[in-house]
């Protein structure tokens, strides 16, 4: 896998400029013809923001052809990786728990476009695409999923515990809601060190009723910590619909004294705009809640078919009307930044790169049994020999 991101194509008479945020996935694509223009373009978000005790950001979002093409590439790579993980799990090459993110890609991709690698991100167990958005390597992802030594957590974390310290990505946590206080702790450290950075602290609607969330939020508000709490509301906590679990499913209002926004989490531009707004707010005023209205296509985990508590028509309807990748595809085509065939060619290259990454991951050996005793304590526990 090439470490540098080589994006897509020849310029159309416009001088290239670097992206504001760090490039996301370390993929190399060589599709010719897809516009690489950095000429400014303004696009309106799909729906208005809903806000709680704060004025929302404008719906008009500045972007470029280059950024839209990057969004399409990154989300397509994530989608393909999750589909591949499904197949590997069914082939019993991935064991244990495995929670897939397909459908929700716009949340982490839009967030990455509004942040830098100095900002920290922490999330729950549906973490594959968050790791990739932070610049994670595809081969290291698949090696970790298969418990191999070449994995990003040395094969010891698996699907739920991905990690990338050099990009301030702190995982992957398997206990529902437990990462929220940890994220507030990261924000405390940022403020203590006087860093001009924030922490994006992700959790799902299934964790939104956790007491530890409100305890951490109260402390964050008291100390004005630079933390953005991001509720990824995919409308089902495992197999329980939000309306059955929450008396008030308006999660962006749950902070009471903490401002909040409800965002179309299937619109990558809306997510980018909201995260940019939230980051500035957190730096100046302390915590803010973002509720991302999103949807997962797979079941809660690979052991859940995802069709017993919702209809196939519901899933198909979301795919047809709100799919984040298809929305960007339509923008690229509508503005004549790419042709249908050029985007298909890009997807074909992405499939090849995912297949190559899987093959490389399979070559990585399993961890030595002695690794069971390492990383338990700072100086290990004395039993590793």
In a domain, 13, yes or no: no
In a domain, 32, yes or no: no
Mean per-residue pLDDT, 31-48: 92
In a domain, 11, yes or no: no
Domain total of the chain: 1
* Residues 6+ away with beta carbon under 8 Å from 357: 1, 137, 138, 139, 141, 142
Q: Which helix (H) or strand (E) holds 41?
A: strand 41-44
Structure tokens at 122: 């922490």
Contact 292, 230 (CB under 8 A): yes
Residue 112 structural domain: 40-361
More confident residue, 380 or 252: 252
pLDDT digits (tens, 9 = 90+) for 230-288: 999 999 999 999 999 999 999 999 999 999 999 999 999 999 999 999 999 999 999 99
CATH of the domain at 341: 3.40.50.970
In a domain, 341, yes or no: yes
Q: List alpha helices for the chain, DSSP H.
A: 65-90, 105-113, 128-133, 138-145, 179-192, 211-223, 242-245, 268-285, 312-322, 324-334, 340-363
In a domain, 236, yes or no: yes
Q: How far apart are CA 213 and CA 182, in angstroms?
A: 10
* Residues 6+ away with beta carbon under 8 Å from 169: 120, 121, 122, 130, 131, 134, 136, 162, 163
Q: Can you tell me whether residue 215 is helix, strand or coil?
A: helix
In a domain, 202, yes or no: yes
pLDDT digits (tens, 9 = 90+) for 142-172: 999 999 999 999 999 999 999 999 999 999 9
In a domain, 22, yes or no: no
Whole-model pTM: value is: 0.91
In a domain, 60, yes or no: yes
pLDDT digits (tens, 9 = 90+) for 61-87: 999 999 999 999 999 999 999 999 999
């Amino acid at each position: 896998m090439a470490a540098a991101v080589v994006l897509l194509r020849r310029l159309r008479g416009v001088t290239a400029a670097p992206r504001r945020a760090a490039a996301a996935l370390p993929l190399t694509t060589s599709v010719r013809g897809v516009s690489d223009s950095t000429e400014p373009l303004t696009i309106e978000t799909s729906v208005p923001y809903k806000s709680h005790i704060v004025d929302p950001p404008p719906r008009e979002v500045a972007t470029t052809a280059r950024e839209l093409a990057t969004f399409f590439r990154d989300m397509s790579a994530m989608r393909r990786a999750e589909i591949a993980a499904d197949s590997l799990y069914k082939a019993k090459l991935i064991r244990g728990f495995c929670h897939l993110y397909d459908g929700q890609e716009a949340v982490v991709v839009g967030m990455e476009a509004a942040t830098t690698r100095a900002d920290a991100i922490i999330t729950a167990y549906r973490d594959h695409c968050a790791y990739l958005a932070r610049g994670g390597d595809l081969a290291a992802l698949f090696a970790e999923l298969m418990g191999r030594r070449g994995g990003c957590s040395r094969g010891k974390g698996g699907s739920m515990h991905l990690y990338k310290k050099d990009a301030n990505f702190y995982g992957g946590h398997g206990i529902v809601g437990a990462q929220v206080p940890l994220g507030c702790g990261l924000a405390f450290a940022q403020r203590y060190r006087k860093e001009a950075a924030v922490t994006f602290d992700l959790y799902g609607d299934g964790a939104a009723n956790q007491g530890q969330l409100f305890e951490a939020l109260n402390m964050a508000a008291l100390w004005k910590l630079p933390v953005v709490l991001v509720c990824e509301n995919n409308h089902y906590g495992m197999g329980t619909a939000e309306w059955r679990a929450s008396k008030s499913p308006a999660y962006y209002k749950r902070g009471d004294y903490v401002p909040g926004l409800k965002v179309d989490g299937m619109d990558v531009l809306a997510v980018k705009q909201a995260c940019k707004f939230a980051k500035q707010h957190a730096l100046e005023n302390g915590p803010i809640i973002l509720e991302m209205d999103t949807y997962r296509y797979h079941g809660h985990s690979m052991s859940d078919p995802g069709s017993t508590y919702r209809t196939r028509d519901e899933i198909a309807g979301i795919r047809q009307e709100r799919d984040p990748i298809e929305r960007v595809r339509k923008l690229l085509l509508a503005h004549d930044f790419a042709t249908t065939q050029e985007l298909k060619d890009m997807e074909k290259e992405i499939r090849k790169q995912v297949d190559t990454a899987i093959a490389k991951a399979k070559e990585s050996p399993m961890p030595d049994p002695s690794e069971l005793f390492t990383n338990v304590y700072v100086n290990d526990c004395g039993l590793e020999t």
